[in-house]
Amino acid sequence: MLSAIAKLIKSLGANTNPGEIAHAMACGMILGLMPKNNLMWYLVMVFILFVRINKPMYVIMMLAGSVIAPACDGFFDTIGYSFLTIPQFSGFFGTLLDIPFVAFSKFNNSVVMGAFLCGLALYIPLYVLSRGLVALFRKTVVPALRKAKLTKIINQIPLVAKIAGLMGEE
């Protein structure tokens, strides 16, 4: 657990691509908002695991989305119901339900569909916002932390030195 947190902190200040962190935040939010008891969630999760992203940030944002999601279920239900009841798509959705195993995705559940659509709608704004926050963090916070006297004092504590060793710093 300690090494995962250390890797996350290191990636925020390291030379890793800020896009990887931003994608992780956006993808984690998509999965965090969706209910977890359906095949659609697992398919999206497996797809995202094959994308190059910062995995610790992905897990943190998935947990954050899971905390937020219950408060938004009414909104997700409204969005999902509105989408699922579009008359032009009724034949398509009926055909999907006739395909074996597609019903396990619960795409026809208004909360699942609404959460998925809201997650997709939030993807680009969250990506842009998080990419800017990572750049701001690297430009202002990291140099200030490296110069702070408190940081130098804390680095002399043996446990902190061990964590820094895990991160590859000296």
Q: What tokens appear for 127 in the block? A: 């990506």
Q: Could you read off the pLDDT of 54-97 as tens digits, one per residue?
A: 888 888 999 999 999 999 999 999 999 999 999 999 889 889 88
Cβ atoms of 101 and 39 closer than 8 Å: yes
Spell out the alpha helix ranges (H) of the chain.
Answer: 2-13, 18-33, 39-49, 55-84, 90-98, 110-136, 142-147, 149-154, 158-167
Which residues have a Cβ under 8 Å from the Cβ of 167 and sit 6 or more positions away? 6, 7, 9, 10
What type of residue is 33? L
pLDDT at 170 > cutoff 50: no
The closest alpha carbon to 10, from 65, 54, 71, belongs to: 54
Condensed to tens digits (0 to 9), the pLDDT of residues 16-56 reads: 788 888 999 999 999 999 998 888 889 889 988 888 888 88
> Whose CA is closest to 120, among 63, 73, 79?
79
Given a cut of 60, is residue 155 above it in pLDDT? yes
99-131 per-position pLDDT tens digit: 888 878 888 899 999 999 999 999 999 999 999
**DSSP string of 54-91, one letter each residue:** -HHHHHHHHHHHHHHHHHHHHHHHHHHHHHHT-GGGHH
Site of tokens 């998935």: 62
Among 9-18, 92-101, 141-150, which is the least confidently predicted range? 9-18
Sequence-separated contacts (24+) of 107-110 with Cβ below 8 Å: 107/40, 108/84, 109/35, 109/38, 109/80, 110/76, 110/77, 110/78, 110/79, 110/80, 110/81, 110/84
More confident of the two residues 68 and 155: 68
